């Protein structure tokens, strides 16, 4: 059984037991989170596609960690003018483990 969920503006294909990093969620570590934006649920040959979400479906996940990703450096440079700008960015994430898929 698997599902396609939407969180943080991105879509993920998940199954029970999967561990993934998603955009930061406001939840404490070792708590459960219900993801209700389920776009598709498939159980063998039985596939339910939502318009846009599947009614009554939810994915329950456990929050494993909160963290920040690797630094991404943005550097702009124009030759012969002395122009350069350097910026850094670290994206926050939440690491979750899918515990159950309820259709």
Give the whole-angstrom CA distance, residue 31 versus residue 29. 6
Task: Provide the domain limits for residue 24.
Answer: 2-102
- Closest C-alpha to 101, from 40, 46, 49, 52: 40
The confidence band for 103, taking pLDDT boundaries of 50, 70 and 90, is confident
pLDDT at res. 44: 87
pLDDT at res. 29: 96
Burial of 24 (0-12, 13-18, 19+ CB in 10 A): middle
pLDDT in tens, 30-86: 999 999 999 999 998 899 999 999 999 999 999 999 999 999 999 999 999 999 999
pLDDT in tens, 7-38: 999 999 999 999 999 999 999 999 999 999 99
Q: How many domains does the chain have?
A: 1
């Amino acid at each position: 059984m698997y599902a396609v969920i939407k969180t943080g503006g991105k879509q993920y294909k998940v199954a029970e037991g999967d561990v993934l990093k998603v955009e930061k969620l406001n939840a404490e570590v070792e708590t459960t989170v219900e993801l209700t934006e389920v776009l598709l649920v498939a159980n063998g040959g039985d596939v339910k596609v939502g318009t846009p979400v599947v009614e009554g479906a939810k994915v329950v996940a456990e929050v494993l960690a909160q963290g920040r990703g690797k630094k991404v450096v943005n550097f702009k440079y124009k030759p012969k003018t002395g122009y350069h700008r350097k910026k850094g960015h670290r994206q926050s994430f939440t690491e979750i483990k899918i515990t159950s898929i309820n259709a």
